[in-house]
A = this chain, B = another copy of it.
Amino acid sequence: MFMPTLREVPSEAEIPSHQLMLRAGMMRKAMSGVYSYLPLGYRVIRKVEQIVREEMDRQGGQELLFPAIQPADIWKLTGRWEDYGGEMFRLKDRGGRELCLGPTHEELATITLRDETRSYRQLPKLVYQIQTKFRDEIRPRFGVMRAREFIMKDMYSFDRDDEGCEVSYRKMYEAYRRAFDRMGLHYIVVEAESGAIGGTHNHEFMVVSDVGEAGIVFCEACGYAASEERADAAAVPEPESAPSLAADRSHARTIATPDVRTIDDLIGFLGVSPRQMVKTMVFVADGEPVAALIRGDRDVNEVKLRRALGCASLELAAPEVIEEVTGAPVGFAGPIGLKQAITIIADPEVLHVVDGVIGANAADAHIVGVRYGVDFTAHRVEDIRIVVAGDECPRCGTPLKGARGIEVGHLFKLGTKYSSRLDARYLDEAGQERSVIMGSYGIGITRCVAAIIEEYHDADGIIWPMSVAPYHVIVLPLNTTDEQQLKVAESLHSELEKLGVEVVLDDRDERPGVKFKDADLIGFPVKVTVGARGLAQCRVEVGLRRGGQTTMVGLDEAATYVSELVRSELALLSKL
């Protein structure tokens, strides 16, 4: 068997799942972000695939396979040839035709279904594939967690209308719930941003994990959950006495703040709280500078800002732009006395800052004692801040909890984004031509494997849930030069195989310690140890990887005992 285990933690791996997939001989790196899956690892991958396949089929999904190579022209029609930027692997064929390696398949799915769909009677359709995808990540890391070549399940739904799409969406939600449950994963479903896929309504299935790349906030009281970049802020009431420049007297005064380089410097220098500061951030939105005002202890959520401004591109302004707009070096921007008349947008919390501090639009100077409505104002007030743990739940007001999450699944309502650009229309009952309503639903197959390991491991190795274990059982004779031990082990192995149990026999001529270490590292759920002492009493030891309990079982009943153990655990997981 080809299962090259490693004793040392490979230096290339930072997180447990990456380390363990290498150490347990599940995979090897072929190049940065690109892996060969060795037999043990590929068995797990195929089990995860099969669970996902069964749940897709249960909801009426039909499996197909689109090509990995795609022509550029369909991507140009949707604008994503540009949007995908460097993340897309591009190439040319011998005829000079522009191609890409599919990072996802909305375009190809849309035109394939379009060409065969004329009537409402042909809808709805749910098609999916399980396929190798390619994304040239800037920074591939954490093994299969963020790889450049990875396996994904992607489903596409095609419906007559929004109600139909809602039905498809709910089917997928249910399929995802069942699939992740069967893998043993624990997850939070969060409202999410749509990124390059686009669309109107999205959920992510997140496995809570310290190594997760995504921030999540969630409410234990009402069940609200969202990614940090998506989470709405709780509504901030209007200030009680809505001040106006006319009604209130200004206490503003400009003070010199020499050698003050950072926010922390300023706080120390002035002896104020970060909540008294109003940061003025200059962005460039679709080529035009704008100023965003936010409380000093907060960060701007660029996704929200982009949505509030309705702009396509948004980035922080370069120092030259900031100097031009403010007339001062970087670090002294403020809403009063800007050199250019630009749009100012304020987060609602800014309206509550009393005795505030702002930049003076002059080198080494700040203005203190300011207040929104008295000393400065904004053109618009909108939620533009990143919500963090401890903030109030936008639904019920309870303080939110925070966590890190691994995104294992994603559901998108796409509306007509792709069907309108690629002319996917049908004739409805009235003979009217209408655009197909689409959805797109992904599960990162290889990422699921890593997420399972993150959830199920200890210092010794992986602890596979039965449903995704590469094998259910390992039979381990302590001493293979003892003929009796080897014979008993071999016969147990073949008995178990006959009972439909996936079983491995460790008949290597190695010390027991080496074998035990490998068995724990690879994480077989059940270990049957055949030793001289037990055999003297006609017994073998059955041990569980999870929990570590062991039981001595009579030779005659060992195979049945183990097979029942396996079967009951599988049944448990499939019922979840």
Chain A residues in the interface with B (C-beta under 8 A):
1-2, 4, 28, 30-31, 34-39, 41-43, 45, 62-71, 86, 89-91, 93-94, 97, 101, 108, 112-113, 115-116, 125, 127, 132, 134, 136, 138, 148-149
Contact = CB atoms under 8 A, between A and B. Distances in A.
B42 A136 contact: no
Nearest to A116: B4
Contacts of A68: 68, 132, 134, 149
A30 B66 contact: yes
A22 to B, nearest CB: 12
Contacts of A132: 68, 132
A217 to B, nearest CB: 33
Given A39-B64, A41-B64, A43-B63, 14 more contacts: A2-B64, A28-B112, A30-B66, A30-B108, A38-B64, A39-B127, A42-B64, A68-B68, A68-B149, A69-B101, A69-B149, A89-B91, A91-B91, A94-B136
B136 A93 contact: yes
Residue of A4, A39, A69, A112 with highest tally of chain B CB at under 10 A: A69
A38 B69 CA distance: 16
Given A69-B148, A132-B132, A149-B68, A62 B94 contact: no
Contacts of A115: 28
Given A89-B91, A94-B86, A136-B94, A37 B64 contact: yes
Nearest to A132: B68
A36 B90 contact: no
A149 B42 contact: no
B125 A67 contact: no
B116 A2 contact: yes
13 contacts: A2-B125, A2-B127, A28-B112, A30-B69, A30-B112, A31-B69, A36-B66, A37-B64, A39-B64, A42-B65, A45-B65, A68-B68, A101-B101
Contacts of A97: 31
Contacts of A101: 69, 91, 101
Contacts of A69: 30-31, 34, 89, 101, 134, 148-149
Nearest to A1: B62
A149 B69 CA distance: 8
A377 to B, nearest CB: 45
A44 to B, nearest CB: 12
A67 B30 CA distance: 8
A112 B38 CA distance: 9
Contacts of A108: 30, 36
B91 A90 contact: yes
Contacts of A89: 69, 91, 93
A151 to B, nearest CB: 8
A65 B93 contact: no
A68 B37 CA distance: 12
Given A30-B108, A125-B2, A39 B62 contact: yes
A71 to B, nearest CB: 5
A46 to B, nearest CB: 8
A130 to B, nearest CB: 10
Contacts of A37: 64-65
A69 to B, nearest CB: 5
A69 B101 CA distance: 10
Nearest to A28: B112
Contacts of A90: 91
A386 to B, nearest CB: 28
A35 to B, nearest CB: 7
Nearest to A85: B94
Contacts of A36: 64-67, 108, 112
A37 B65 CA distance: 5
B39 A63 contact: yes
Contact of A34 (B64, B67, B136): B67
A273 to B, nearest CB: 44
Contacts of A38: 64, 112
A448 to B, nearest CB: 15
Contacts of A116: 2, 4, 28
- What are the 9 tightest A-B residue pairs by CB atom distance, in nearest-first order? A91-B91, A4-B116, A39-B62, A37-B65, A86-B94, A34-B67, A36-B66, A31-B71, A67-B149
A1 B61 CA distance: 9
A321 to B, nearest CB: 27
Contacts of A94: 86, 136, 138
A36 B149 CA distance: 20
A71 B138 contact: no
A124 to B, nearest CB: 11
Given A30-B108, A89-B93, A136-B94, A62 B149 contact: no
Contacts of A127: 2, 39
A86 B97 CA distance: 14
